[in-house]
A = this chain, B = another copy of it.
Amino acid sequence: MHPITDILLLLFVMYVAALLGGELALCLRLPAVVGEIVAGCVLGPSVLGWIGSASIASGTPVDMLAEVGVILLLFSVGLETSLADLKAVGGHALAVGVLGVITPFVMASTWAHGLGLAWAHSMFVAAAFVATSAGITARVLQELGVLGRREARIILGAAVIDDILAMLLLGIVTAMQGHGEVSLWPLLGTFAGAVGFVAVIGLGGSMMMRRGSGWLDAPQNPLSPLAITLAMCLGLAWLSTRFHLAAIIGAFLAGMVAAETRQRGELARSTSPLLAFLTPFFFVVTGARVDLGNLADAHGLAMLAMALAIAIVSKVVGGFLGAISLGKTSALIVGVGMVPRGEVGVVIASLGLATGLLDSTLYSVIVGMSILSSIATPPALAWMFRSQRASAEQPATSP
């Protein structure tokens, strides 16, 4: 009687799989998010096929629910990050963001050129190696309870800068595919717009909220502080896409602004059930998008291994160099935290497939790289934070 019936079954299966996968991961001392991604991969077309690729394609109901889930996740991460926290790490975040874009871009374009592609074309491929997906790292940092740590703040700040630069870069390389000419001024305008958006919302919004947030409690609706900040989250998520940034950047800014209110604690408590219900869909969908079939032959596997190595090494090196003044251990944590490409790489790859810039193998390689980098990061990050904590507890090795 209602097409919603099939979707309900799918949501039920995805949610149960996420719970089981997450629980299993926790038992193995891995972050729950790893289990959720793997659960998605198992349910997806590559293994069981219970989640068809059509039902999680871009713009479908399940995709939208997943997107709302990651938006709320970044909102709640922003809620744990105030402007003062980010300002304190501003210089490092800038260095990590910039180096974390340049290194993968140079390495990946050289690799793609080595595969026989023209430079302009290679640079498009390289653009898919650039953008860090903050969602996965943010979730791991949240699960580990280390969002207050300096490294975590640098990673989050760098992810915002990274997204701005990646957007600029994608604009340049897409323009280069056409007439071979890149018109500088429109691109600079877009860049200035994105920087201005982040600055105005981040600084202006935080300042406004610090001045007083009693008005959030003024409406008769008893949950008005939550409702108003969620409205702001949806609005800024949309607005940031108008400035060519990912929706999650706007959601993160909304959370940061909400972190300046005196209702911060109440907001953090009430967003956690929202995350418990909605974010698992995002990670299951991410996992279900892995198509192992396309990578089953030796050639595909070798290309994937190479792409993955470049993706990991280039981000770790870029992040490490940017944060080296914090000491080697912290710099390495920052570098590893920047590794996941997640949905941003997948989106660029889809764009390439649609415009004919990528063939289906290169597409699968980039999608595989994006997703494997996301699966590999959480356990590595968890392990590093735990061993850093363990060594900090031994006075001999602490600074």
| A positions within 8 Å CB-CB of B | 1-5, 7-9, 11-12, 15-16, 19, 22-23, 26-27, 32, 58-61, 63-65, 67-68, 71, 219-221, 223-224, 226-228, 230-231, 234-235, 237-238, 241-242, 247, 270-274, 276-277, 347, 351
Contacts and interface: CB of A to CB of B under 8 A. Distances in A.
Contacts of A227: 15, 19, 276-277
Contact of A61 (B23, B64, B273): B64
A234 B11 contact: yes
A68 B12 CA distance: 11
A5 B276 contact: no
A182 to B, nearest CB: 19
Contacts of A65: 61, 64-65, 68
B221 A3 contact: no
Given A8-B241, A19-B221, A270-B273, 9 more contacts: A5-B242, A12-B238, A16-B231, A19-B228, A22-B221, A60-B61, A230-B277, A273-B273, A273-B274
Nearest to A61: B64
A395 to B, nearest CB: 31
Contacts of A273: 223, 226, 270-271, 273-274
A8 B248 CA distance: 11
Contacts of A5: 238, 241-242, 247
19 contacts: A4-B58, A4-B63, A4-B64, A5-B247, A7-B59, A7-B64, A11-B234, A12-B237, A19-B219, A19-B221, A19-B231, A32-B221, A61-B61, A64-B65, A223-B273, A226-B273, A270-B272, A270-B273, A273-B274
A1 B271 CA distance: 28
Contacts of A224: 19
A2 B347 contact: yes
A231 B15 contact: yes
Contact of A1 (B8, B272, B347): B347
A231 B12 contact: yes
Given A32-B221, A221-B19, A230-B277, A238 B9 contact: yes
A214 B8 CA distance: 27
A226 B11 contact: no
Give 8 nearest A-B pairs by CB, closest first: A3-B59, A61-B64, A270-B273, A8-B238, A12-B234, A26-B220, A223-B276, A61-B61
A238 B272 CA distance: 25
A194 to B, nearest CB: 14
A3 B58 contact: yes
A26 B221 contact: yes
Nearest to A60: B61
Contacts of A223: 272-273, 276
A235 B59 contact: no
Nearest to A32: B221
A204 to B, nearest CB: 19
Contacts of A4: 58-59, 63-64, 67, 247
Nearest to A1: B347
A174 B1 CA distance: 12
B64 A226 contact: no
A273 B230 CA distance: 10
A351 B374 CA distance: 45
A253 B353 CA distance: 46
Nearest to A241: B5
A235 B26 contact: no
Nearest to A16: B231
